Structure 1
Amino acid sequence: MTIRFGVSPIAWANDDMPELGGDTPLASILADIRDVGFAGVELGGKFPRDAATLKPLLDSYGLDLIGGWYSGSLLVQDAPAEIAALQPHLQLLKAMGSNVFVFAETSNAVHGNRGVALTGTPRLAAGDWARFGARMTEVADYIAAQGLKFAYHHHLGTVVERGEDVDAFLRHTGASVGLTLDTGHAALGGVDYLRLIREWPQRIAHVHCKDIRRDVFEKCRSDGASFLDGVLAGMFTVPGDGGIDYDAVMRELKAIGYSGWIVIEAEQDPALAPPKPYAAKGLSTLREAAARAGLA
């Protein structure tokens, strides 16, 4: 697999805040995604969850299903229980021909709670990483045996947020545990994503690209705003509309021989940031940067 560009439908209809694009028909979302020129789309809340319905629907728009977010609970249950819980999601991905399983620990996450400030992220004690990592590795080994890449999504408001969290996570997990490298969450979480690519090349399993407006984020954080408040305020945007140097990102991905999906996942208020033209800007930015890096 070479580089393919995809998108998350979250810019059109936000699953965490249904008031953002909740009335936008799925057919309209998929038509926009096709017309902009993406090859694939990640799962969204409006998508049917049976392959017999979803596959012909996406085929009619010329789109592949890339995969989609899975909310895990390995801090509160063991790996066999998690493996049992993830079966419906896994079976859908397999039936759809997806090759990546995006996992995020959400048992104590606060990113969906507007009553918790950006500074209220839960932290793992140093002694808790080993058990968490062992459970994660067991689940990832299972996913790998099923023929999919396991791609853990670090995320603001979760226990894997900061640079030191990502480093601890990688040290305590095995080779089967890949990462969904998310440039926006990395930049705002204090993760040096260029160093991460260079130092852990074998773990970069999937890539999410969003850009950031750091001044908006800093104001939200100083005001005690929540993650969702930050989204509404516009701390995220598409590549090419913020402060991230995507030429540098693409050069590092080229240097490690990255092959796979590069997905725009940039949640904003669609009333303020019309999804189709913003997605087109993001895709153009990524394609041009990839071409300059020799990645495309």
Structure 2
Amino acid sequence: MKAKLAIAPIAWSNDDLPELGGDTPLETCLRESRAAGFSGVETGGKFPKTIAALRDELTAHDLQLASGWYSGTVLDAPDDLSQEKDKVAGQLALFSALGAACLAYGETAGTIQNRREAPLNTRRRLSEDEIRVYGRRLTRFAEHCADAGVPLAFHHHMGTAIESEHDVDLLMQHTGEAVGLLYDAGHLAFAGGDVLRVIEKHGSRIVHVHAKDVRLPVIDSLDRGRDSFLDAVLAGAFTVPGDGSLDFGAIVRRIADTGYEGWFVVEAEQDPAKAPPAEYAVKGYEALSRALTGAGYTIEGHAA
């Protein structure tokens, strides 16, 4: 089986918390990503938005485009989805031209993930009937993305309407196959889910993997009636594989059992002053590489 390793730029520059790496140049992120061994990256706020400019940046650092976040609002969009299709058009064209594996779709309608004043327990919650309606609409949007050459990978995420294991179960039940799953063990663990059970239940839907570790003592110390998601980030809730509480050897073996091949993306938002991005990129690369090879994967695109 084959795997490719990418990293997200959020370790260098956090788009939701500009005080974390806001003045770090994109060139630093790309250079240090490749130096750590990664063959791909996901996009972030500092990345060029045109095909030619982004291709030039990636080529200059011998990197591929793995994917990138899309702030979707299908949950509250008019049923014809015309506005959402117009909003995503530029990103689909960019990702299709540069060979991205998927669109990392995060549902941001009503999200509190970027609101420092909003406690964790105030996130939006949906009934099964609401998820059923949403699932039909999301499936049609995913089919539109697939027709444009970019599959949709749904990113369950803290602070959003699809956060918990139960939310993921219902979403997978009420969406068609066009809606792939972006599996993120870190967000599942933060939400109290069973990171291995979700793979067992929905492994056939996994089309992209974020490798994010958590520091459970930090998460357990949070006051969810007072602390926000961004407070948790600043407190150090997340880190790279090999530096936290999760067993990525077991996680990757379970993913391998599903037959998944593709990108594994190290993504861990931290304070770069406390967790130097270049150092943690190497740490994450080495730990994830060990887990992958131990599970029988061949890693493509190692840096020379």
Same fold (TM over 0.5): yes
Alignment of 1:106 with 2:138, yes or no, is no
- In structure 1, the residue matched to 2:61 is 61
Map of 1:44 onto structure 2: 44
Contact 1:250 1:295 in 2 (8 A): no
- What is the CA distance between 1:111 and its match in structure 2? 0.8
After the TM superposition, which residues 4-19 of structure 1 pair with which residues of structure 2 at under 5 Å, given as runs? Answer: 4-19=4-19
User: Matches of 1:80 and 1:260 in 2, distance apart?
Assistant: 31
CA contact (8 A) 1:184 1:236 kept: yes
Is the 8 Å Cα contact of residues 99 and 147 (structure 1) preserved in structure 2?
no
- Aligned residue in 1 for 2:241: 239
SS of alignment partner, residue 98 of structure 1: coil
Partner of 1:22: 22
Please state if 1:72 is matched with 2:106.
no
Q: Once structures 1 and 2 are overlaid, which stretch shifts more, 122-131 or 231-240? A: 122-131
Equivalent position SS for 1:21: coil
Shift of 1:11: 0.3
Q: Deviations over 1:56-115 (max 9, x none)?
A: 111010001112100111121133332222101111111212121111110100010001
State how far apart, in whole Å, the 1-side matches of 2:76 and 2:252 are.
37
Aligned counterpart, 1:137: 139
Equivalent residue number for residue 180 of structure 2: 178
Structure 1: runs of 5+ lacking an equivalent: none
SS in 2 for 1:151: strand
Secondary structure at the aligned position of 1:123 is classed as coil
Distance in 2, Cα, partners of 1:127 & 1:256: 30
Per the TM alignment, residue 223 of structure 1 is displaced from its structure 2 partner at its CA by 6.8
User: 2: CA distance between counterparts of 1:142 and 1:23?
Assistant: 36
- State the match for 1:83 in structure 2: 85
The answer to whether the Cα contact below 8 Å between 1:102 and 1:150 also exists between their aligned partners in 2 is: yes
Q: Is the 8 A contact 1:119 1:221 kept in 2?
A: no
Taking the aligned partners of 1:198 and 1:95, their CA distance within structure 2 comes to: 33
2:250 — aligned with what? 248
By relative contact order (CA 8 Å, sep 6+), the higher-ranking structure is 2
CA distance in 2, matches of 1:151, 1:261: 12
| 1:254 Cα deviation after fit | 1.2
Can you list the C-alpha shifts for 1:174-225, whole angstroms capped at 9, x where unaligned?
A: 1111111011001111222211212222210100011111111121235721
Q: Once superposed, what is the RMSD of the aligned Cα atoms?
A: 1.3
Amino acid at match of 2:193: V
Deviation at 1:125, TM superposition (A): 2.1
Q: Give unmatched runs, 5+ long, in structure 2.
A: 299-304
Q: What is the correspondence of 1:175-214 to structure 2 with a 5 Å cutoff? A: 175-214=177-216
Which among 191, 211, 232 is matched to residue 230 of structure 1?
Answer: 232
Find the counterpart in structure 2 of residue 32 from structure 1.
Answer: 32
- Give the SS at the match of 2:74: coil
Q: TM-score, normalised by structure 1?
A: 0.97
Instruction: Give the TM-score, by structure 2 length.
Output: 0.94
Structure 1 residue 36 displacement after superposition? 0.5
Q: Which residue of 1 aligns with 2:223?
A: 221
* Aligned-partner residue type, residue 107 of structure 1: A
Which position in structure 1 is the counterpart of 2:302?
none
CA distance in 2, matches of 1:236, 1:223: 20
Separation of aligned partners in 2, 1:4 and 1:132: 32
Following superposition, the deviation at residue 295 of structure 1 comes to 2.1
CA distance in 2, matches of 1:222, 1:13: 25
- Determine the C-alpha separation between the residues in 2 that align with 1:125 and 1:257: 32
Letter in 2 for 1:26: L
Cα contact 2:165–2:198 (8 A) shared by 1 = no
Q: Note the alpha carbon deviations across 1:141-184, whole angstroms, 9 max, x for none.
A: 11222222210000000011111111111111011111110110
Local SS of the residue matching 1:75: helix
One-letter identity of the residue aligned with 1:201:
G
